[in-house]
């Protein structure tokens, strides 16, 4: 088989799509923590769209394994995992104060997946 006729393989973290024996479609994506997440749909296109959205969420650092994660939980994790190592200590203290005083009281209880522009 020549290189031009050989089927291409997907790279790491690009996900897979397959049709299940019951006729539904399944997409699987690898998460940064080593787990895999399955997404289901009736058509290949719907599953492909869900896979694209999940890949965007993973690229943004959202934890797909925690479906009920609130905005407050996400902000706390963001402060520790991302902001603390990338900004100066005084800036980190400022960020932590803004999250604690302004963001968490109004938005902290909303589920991250259900947050809409109207909430903000």
**From CA 62, how far away is CA 107, in angstroms rounded?**
16
Asked whether residue 2 is domain-assigned, the answer is no
pLDDT band for 13, please (50, 70, 90 cuts).
low
Asked if residue 77 and residue 52 are part of one domain, the reply reads no
Asked if residue 75 and residue 54 are part of one domain, the reply reads no
Asked if residue 105 and residue 78 are part of one domain, the reply reads yes
pTM of the model: 0.51
The pLDDT of residue 57 is: 82
pLDDT over 60 at 88, yes or no: yes
Tell me which H or E stretch contains 39. Answer: strand 36-41
The pLDDT of residue 12 is: 63
Is 82 within 8 Å of 61 (Cβ atoms)? Answer: yes
- Phi-psi region at 23: left, alpha or beta (left = phi > 0; alpha = psi -120 to 50): left
Q: How many domains does the chain have?
A: 2
What is the domain range of residue 84?
A: 71-114
Asked if residue 75 and residue 51 are part of one domain, the reply reads no
Asked if residue 47 and residue 75 are part of one domain, the reply reads no
* Cβ count within 10 A of residue 90: 8
pLDDT over 80 at 98, yes or no: yes
| SS3 state of residue 38 | strand
Asked whether residue 77 is domain-assigned, the answer is yes
- Which tens digits make up the pLDDT trace of 36-80? 889 999 999 999 999 998 888 888 877 676 667 889 998 998 899
């Amino acid at each position: 088989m020549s290189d031009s006729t050989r089927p291409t393989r997907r790279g790491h973290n690009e996900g897979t799509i397959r049709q299940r024996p019951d006729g539904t479609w399944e997409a699987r994506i690898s998460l940064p923590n080593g787990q895999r997440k399955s997404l289901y749909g009736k058509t290949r296109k719907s599953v492909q769209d869900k896979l694209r959205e999940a890949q965007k969420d993973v690229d943004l650092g959202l934890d797909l394994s925690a479906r009920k994660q609130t905005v407050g939980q996400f902000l706390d994790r963001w402060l520790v995992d991302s902001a603390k190592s990338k900004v100066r200590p005084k800036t980190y203290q400022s960020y932590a104060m803004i999250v604690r005083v302004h963001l968490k009281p109004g938005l902290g209880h909303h589920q991250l997946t259900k947050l809409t522009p109207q909430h903000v």
